[in-house]
C-alpha cells in the first residue's frame, strides 16, 4: 500500500492537531455558506443508505462494489451510498424547487474499492449540491459561469483561513483555465490522463477540464464517469495545484445533468440500457424530474489543500493500512 504514497521532502504540518481541528471547522463553516450564497442553495439532510431497487445509488465507473446488506423489516437489499448524484435530482422534484433554486448537503459515503493514498480514502465526504436550470441554460457558457462562482467561494475561504492562520500560504488562483479533455489530449498525446492534468494544472493553478466520460480520438477516456447523471458533453472536473504533493488535486466532479436524449445515448454507449427501468431513470426519460446542474466538492480534499497537508488522513478519520500509518509517521505525516 505505502508504495503509492508521496512524501514531501522535509514535510512538517504548519498547524498542530488541535489547531487543525479548529481550522477545519472554520473552512467548513465558511465555504458552505459562501457556496450556498453563490449558487442560491438550501441545506438539506441526505441519506446514508438507499435501496438497491431504486437505482438511486451512484455506479461510479460501474465496477466498484457497493457496501450492501439485507434488512430486518424491509424486503430487498440496502446499499451504502457511493454518492448522491441521482438522489439530489429526485429531491429537487419531490421538495418542489423551482428554476434558479437548489440544495446542498453533507454527503458521507463508503467506497470500498478506492485505493488508499495521499488523496483517496475509503471514507468519502463531500458537499453535494444540485440546482434546477432551464433548457436554455444547458450550455458550456452556463457551466463555466457556475465553475467560476465555486472557485470564487474557494478563493474567499482561503483568504479568511490565511488571515486567521498567517503561517499558511496556500495560493488559490481564482482565474480558472478552461480546456476540454480532447484539447488536452491533443496537447499531450503521449501522456496519460493524470500526467496531462498535472502539466496543465501546474501551468495555470486552477483548471476545469470539460467533457469527461466519452471516448477521445485516441479511443481512450480521459477518466470514467457514470452514464446516467452528467451529460458527458457538459461536465468536468475542477483541479487545483497542490504544492505540497507537487501534483494536480481534483476537488470537484460536476456538470449539467442528462436530459432524456443524452441519458438514452449514454446508456447505450455504456451497454447499460437495462437501467432505464429504474424509477429514477424513468423520471428523467419522462421529463418528470427537472433539468439540473450539480456536483460534489470534496470536504477533506479542500481542507487538506487549504491547510497545506500532505495526506487526506491528516484532516479526516478513516481506516488505513498499518504500513501506511508507519511510513507516514516516519515522514512527519500524522494520520488521525
Catalytic residues: 58, 111, 126, 237, 250, 253
Give every strand in the sheet of 68-70, ordered side by side: 49-51, 77-80, 68-70
Answer for the pair 149, 293: CB distance below 8 angstroms, yes or no: no
CB 252 within 8 A of CB 150: yes
CA distances from 218 to 189, 193, 226, 227, 258 (A): 8, 12, 20, 20, 25
Give the H/E segment covering residue 240: strand 230-242
Of all helices (H) and strands (E), which one includes residue 254? strand 247-257
Rounded CA separation 91/273 (Å) = 23
**Grid cell listed for 209:** 477540464
Instruction: Tell which residue, 298, 193, 192, 190, has the closest CA to residue 240.
Output: 298
What is the number of other CB atoms lying within 10 angstroms of the CB of residue 331?
17
Q: How far apart are CA 215 and CA 236, in angstroms?
A: 14
Quick count: other Cβ atoms within 10 Å of Cβ 76?
11
- What grid cell was written down for 147? 465553475
Distance of CA 259 to the CA centre of its chain: 21
User: In this structure, are strands 177-180 and 292-298 parallel, antiparallel, or unpaired?
Assistant: unpaired
Amino acid at each position: 500500500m505505502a508504495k503509492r504514497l508521496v512524501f514531501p521532502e522535509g514535510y512538517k504540518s504548519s498547524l498542530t492537531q488541535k489547531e487543525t481541528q479548529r481550522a477545519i471547522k472554520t473552512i467548513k463553516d465558511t465555504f458552505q455558506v459562501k457556496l450556498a450564497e453563490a449558487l442560491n442553495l438550501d441545506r438539506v439532510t441526505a441519506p446514508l443508505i438507499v435501496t438497491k431497487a431504486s437505482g438511486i445509488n451512484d455506479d461510479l465507473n460501474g465496477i466498484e462494489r457497493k457496501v450492501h446488506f439485507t434488512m430486518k423489516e424491509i424486503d430487498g437489499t440496502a446499499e451504502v451510498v457511493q454518492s448522491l448524484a441521482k438522489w439530489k435530482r429526485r429531491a429537487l422534484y419531490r421538495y418542489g424547487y423551482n428554476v434558479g433554486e437548489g440544495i446542498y448537503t453533507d454527503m458521507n459515503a463508503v467506497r470500498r474499492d478506492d485505493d488508499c493514498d495521499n488523496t483517496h480514502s475509503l471514507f468519502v465526504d463531500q458537499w453535494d449540491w444540485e440546482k434546477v436550470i432551464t433548457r436554455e441554460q444547458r450550455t458550456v457558457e452556463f457551466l463555466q459561469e457556475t465553475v467560476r462562482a465555486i472557485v470564487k467561494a474557494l478563493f474567499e475561504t482561503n483568504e479568511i483561513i490565511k488571515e486567521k492562520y498567517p503561517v499558511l500560504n496556500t495560493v488559490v488562483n481564482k482565474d480558472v483555465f478552461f480546456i476540454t479533455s480532447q484539447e488536452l489530449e491533443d496537447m499531450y498525446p503521449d501522456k496519460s490522463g493524470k500526467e496531462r492534468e498535472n502539466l496543465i494544472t501546474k501551468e495555470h493553478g486552477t483548471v476545469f477540464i470539460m467533457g469527461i466520460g466519452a471516448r477521445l480520438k485516441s479511443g481512450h477516456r480521459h477518466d470514467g464517469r457514470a452514464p446516467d447523471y452528467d451529460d458527458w458533453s457538459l461536465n468536468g472536473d475542477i483541479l487545483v495545484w497542490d504544492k505540497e504533493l507537487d501534483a494536480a488535486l481534483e476537488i470537484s466532479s460536476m456538470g449539467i445533468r442528462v436530459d432524456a436524449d443524452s441519458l438514452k445515448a449514454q446508456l447505450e454507449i455504456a451497454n447499460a440500457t437495462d437501467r432505464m427501468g429504474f424509477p429514477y431513470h424513468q423520471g428523467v426519460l419522462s421529463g418528470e424530474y427537472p433539468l439540473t446542474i450539480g456536483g460534489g466538492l470534496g470536504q477533506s480534499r479542500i481542507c487538506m489543500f487549504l491547510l497545506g497537508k500532505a495526506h487526506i488522513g491528516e484532516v479526516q478519520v478513516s481506516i488505513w493500512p498499518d504500513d501506511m500509518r508507519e511510513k507516514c509517521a516516519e515522514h512527519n505525516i500524522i494520520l488521525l
